Amino acid sequence: MAKSDGCDYFKRTSTFWIVAVTLAMGFYTCMVFAPELLPLEHLGLFGTFCNHLLDNYDGIMYKGWWAAWAIHVYEAYLAWRMCGNKGIHNTATRCLWVFQTFLFGFASLGLLVKYDPERPKQH
């Protein structure tokens, strides 16, 4: 097997984080833009809390939604820069890191932070 130089290193984030971030951002998006679609009355104390937020803090919820996506954009930018710093120069691989980090944030970025090109992990 040929030794890789690390320029095409990519690791997919765990299924747990993919599901958790997708559900959380999806729920938050529905709370901000279409709260009538959510069965908040069936979610017990959590639903009551969500109703309280919608009734009293709708402006903050809207700004928080934009802030969450802005953070994801910034994390994606950091992933692009970090790929360059860690020797991952393959454009397709860098784009995979950026796209994954944009969608799943810290769950993806954390994998890239842990990557040490000086000591490749043995399988």
Q: What is the pLDDT of residues 65-108, one digit of tens each?
A: 999 999 999 999 999 999 999 999 999 999 999 999 999 999 99
Query: Residue 40 and residue 48: Cα distance in Å, rounded?
Result: 7
Report if residue 9 sits inside a domain.
no
Q: What pLDDT score was predicted for residue 8? A: 86
Nearest by Cα to 90 from 3, 6, 13: 6
- Among the residues of the chain, which ranges form H helices? 15-33, 44-56, 58-85, 91-104, 106-114
Q: What pLDDT score was predicted for residue 120? A: 59
Report if residue 8 sits inside a domain.
no
Q: What pLDDT score was predicted for residue 118? A: 80
Q: What pLDDT score was predicted for residue 123? A: 62
pLDDT classification of 1: cutoffs 50, 70, 90: very low
Report if residue 34 sits inside a domain.
yes
Report if residue 121 sits inside a domain.
no
Q: Which domain holds residue 40?
A: 15-114
More confident residue, 120 or 31: 31
**pLDDT digits 0-9 by tens, 30-58:** 999 999 999 999 999 999 999 999 999 99
